[in-house]
Amino acid sequence: MSSSSAAAAAGVGSGEPSSSSPAGKEKEEDGGGGKEWEEEVDFDLSGAAAGWVEAQTSFPHLTSMPAAGADDLARVRPPDSPCSRCHHPAENWLCLICKDIMCSRFINKHMLYHYQETGHCLALSFSDLSLWCFACDSYLDVQAILELRPVYEVAHLLKFAHTNAEKTGDAATSPPVATSTP
């Protein structure tokens, strides 16, 4: 769902208050305790306008992702790996097809360009471990799409295992080190 259709579905710009949140009144004091003005404020707390999106629970592009074998999962690099094109250290995504790491559309758009150049439509965010399908233009629900779980779990371990090891002092829970480079 595009942002404009998500906004339309959420009732944004329709001029009508959202059914999920009543309009409130905002008051401003003049410093002496007197009311200077009163204005109706609409708090839309639903859908994309509130920053919440519905993730897809199925999608037709699953066949484009290779089966996650042990060798394939060993190629997943740590979440702090920089973009392979511009070397930016933040907001990076893992291509689930070729395991390359590139920056988000909010940095230099290298993952978006990668999709446009190769057709590799599935990516995992190292920031929040969300999964995105460029072809569907939608987030994917990793809990509902079982084929996505292995790579998600590896990324989760790589992202959080070192944090848990530091807290417990247990080096045995350190993340596995990838032995090959893509």
pLDDT, one tens digit per residue, over 32-41 is 555 555 566 5
- Shared domain for 83 and 166, answered yes or no, is yes
E strand segments, 99-171: 101-103, 122-125, 131-133, 138-140
Whole-model pTM: value is 0.61
- Shared domain for 155 and 73, answered yes or no, is yes
- Shared domain for 98 and 26, answered yes or no, is no
Total count of domains within the chain: 2
Please tell me the distance from the alpha carbon of residue 115 to that of residue 134, in angstroms, as a whole number: 7
Q: Which amino acid is at 150?
A: P
State which residues form the domain around 118.
62-173
pLDDT band at 10 (very low <50, low <70, confident <90, very high): very low
| Burial grade of 22 (CB within 10 A; 0-12, 13-18, 19 or more) | exposed
In a domain, 38, yes or no: yes
**What token pair was written down for 106?**
């909010």
- Expressed in angstroms, the distance from the first to the final Cα of the chain is 32
Please tell me the distance from the alpha carbon of residue 158 to that of residue 139, in angstroms, as a whole number: 21
CATH number for the domain that contains residue 71? 3.30.40.10
pLDDT, one tens digit per residue, over 13-55 is 434 333 343 444 444 455 555 555 556 655 555 555 556 678 8
Dihedral (CA of 110, 112, 117, 120) sign: positive
